[in-house]
Structure 1
Amino acid sequence: MTAQRPCVLVFAGHDPSGGAGIQADIEAIAAQGAHALTVITSLTVQDNNQVYAVYPVDSEIVVAQARSLIKNFTVKVLKLGIAGSAQNARAIASLIAELQASNPDLAVVLDPVLSSGHGQALGLDDAVLALKPLVEVATLITPNLPEVKRLAPHGLTATQQAVSLLGGHCQNVLLKGGHASDEHVCNRWFRQSKQLSEISWNWPRLEGEFHGSGCTLAAAIAGQLACGHTMEKSLYAAQLYTQLCLQKAYSIAAGQLIPQR
């Protein structure tokens, strides 16, 4: 009997270095036992350290890619990376809203990438404003500390910033602690159901810089959810997987290492 894998529909950009973006998503989702259906939102000019240019795919092409996949495959989970432009973000969000109307429990994992690891822009428009439509349809958002600071109102603590993202479709926020300087990386899960709850995990901080670690984690979570695991189990399993990927990371050139996915 032929084995069948659950499908994750991914919207993300293409990184020609193979370290982040759509290639990272494909590898991480496959490692969880799921299959990635991939819609490329933008082409980038980058290596494992720097982003030099971003060229968004036309929004009509982005939507056409997605609709052809939705028509022929059962999509268990959606994973969102960079949209490339505000127009693309609006088009993707509108399509997701259609899917949520018929399937309110559809999981949508958003990795809210606002810039590259070294601060280069990954889209043509104001990154925070462009991301807003996707934040509104996401059910899980996975910001790092700099991202949550930009997405949330000013003058709040990191905890308050993360909690401020809860509401509407979004019942879960995983706040990643990789940009802190503590001995351990503390990732904190904020969940809003009948009441607010928090669970945290601590992971040994590894030496070096990594290209595509955020993509890897968010995609792994999506793959775990697609395989039918609970949110808590998916978050833990994806973090453990990502930690092992970083421990075994390899070099392709000077600079950031590539997770061994």
Structure 2
Amino acid sequence: MVPNVLVFAGLDPGGGAGLAADIAAIGALGGHALPVATALTVQDNNRVHEVRPVDPGLVTRQAVALIDTCRIDAVKIGIPGSRENAAAIAQLLQRLRAARPGLAVVLDPVLASGHGDALGRGNALAALAELLPLATLVTPNLPEAAALGPIPCEHVLVTGGHGEGDVIVNRWLRAGVEQQAWRLPRLPHDYHGSGCTLASSIAARLALGEGMKEALEYAQDYCHLTLAHAISIAPGQRIPRRILHIH
């Protein structure tokens, strides 16, 4: 059977980020996404105009229908949409971990859009507080890592796309100690959905049974390739081309 990745994220009608990015990246890397919608958004490839969190009871029912039927091989979490949704997701993760203690959970701690637009109701940091300790891996960019401070999970991949210079440095920390750094050439455009693509592709490789180092390396190479082949749907930020027939 194809490994299943349970995904909690928002719907981006522009197809650049959120569930659309997760479904494409997970499928491209050999998994199958089980997408649970946490929020509906009004956005394009540049700005977020409105976010409507899904009712937490509906988030739970979406997930339970899948958990009761499908084998869950990994979990990826994007925006919860609200603190109430984050609490509901935390309860679901505790249930999953009771059945599968080693289940990989990848959390992309999105605090705002690239332009600073809010992506949920209430305080985004507070919404993540219950989820961070339940994650196997957290994938903050530099501003998110600074805002989060010490992260209470085993693995952290701090991505350097918001830094300066011609080289992007991504750093893998385990229990706060740097394990490895990857250096990638900075590409010339701005992109919408790169963080979703990276986190989902890591979750897909973990679902396939790869170790953390191998999953991080494969996913970063894949994500960089999707950005190098990114498409334009309108002026402004480009969208990663996730369907590249990569095996």
Match of 1:171 among 132, 154, 157: 154
1:134 alignment counterpart: 131
Match of 1:24 among 18, 21, 46: 21
Does residue 1:198 correspond to 2:195, yes or no?
no
Match of 1:84 among 78, 81, 84: 81
Q: Deviations over 1:217-253 (max 9, x none)?
A: 0000000111111110000000000000000001000
Match of 1:236 among 217, 223, 233: 217
Q: Using the TM superposition, give the Cα deviation of residue 98 of structure 1 relative to its aligned residue in structure 2, in angstroms.
A: 1.7
**What TM-score comes out, normalization by structure 1 length?**
0.91
Helix, strand or coil for the counterpart of 1:75?
coil
Does residue 1:184 correspond to 2:167, yes or no?
yes
CA RMSD, Structure 1 to Structure 2 (Å): 1.0
Please give the alpha-carbon distance, in whole angstroms, between the structure 1 residues aligned to 2:121 and 2:77. Answer: 17
1:63 alignment counterpart: 60
Please give the alpha-carbon distance, in whole angstroms, between the structure 2 residues aligned to 1:129 and 1:61. Answer: 21
Helix, strand or coil for the counterpart of 1:96?
helix
Match of 1:5 among 2, 6, 10: 2
Match of 2:194 among 196, 213, 222: 213
Q: Deviations over 1:128-178 (max 9, x none)?
A: 1111111121110000001011111xxxxxxxxxxx21x4xx210000000
Q: Using the TM superposition, give the Cα deviation of residue 197 of structure 1 relative to its aligned residue in structure 2, in angstroms.
A: 4.3
Please give the alpha-carbon distance, in whole angstroms, between the structure 1 residues aligned to 2:36 and 2:212. Answer: 24
Helix, strand or coil for the counterpart of 1:72?
coil
Pick which of 72-81 and 131-140 moved more: 131-140
Please give the alpha-carbon distance, in whole angstroms, between the structure 2 residues aligned to 1:233 and 1:118. Answer: 32
AA at the equivalent of 1:97: Q
AA at the equivalent of 2:80: A
AA at the equivalent of 2:170: N
AA at the equivalent of 1:221: I
Equivalent positions of 1:90-129 (< 5 A) are: 90-129=87-126
Provide closer, same or farther for how the CA distance between residues 90 and 214 of structure 1 changes in structure 2, counting only shifts above 3 A.
same
Q: Using the TM superposition, give the Cα deviation of residue 99 of structure 1 relative to its aligned residue in structure 2, in angstroms.
A: 1.4
Corresponding residue pairs, total:
242
Please give the alpha-carbon distance, in whole angstroms, between the structure 2 residues aligned to 1:249 and 1:229. Answer: 27
Runs of 4+ in 1 over 3 A off after TM superposition: none
Please give the alpha-carbon distance, in whole angstroms, between the structure 1 residues aligned to 2:230 and 2:177. Answer: 36
Helix, strand or coil for the counterpart of 1:235?
helix
Identify unmatched segments of 5+ residues in structure 1.
153-163
Identify unmatched segments of 5+ residues in structure 2.
243-247
AA at the equivalent of 1:184: V
Does residue 1:223 correspond to 2:223, yes or no?
no
AA at the equivalent of 1:69: L
Please give the alpha-carbon distance, in whole angstroms, between the structure 2 residues aligned to 1:217 and 1:39. Answer: 18
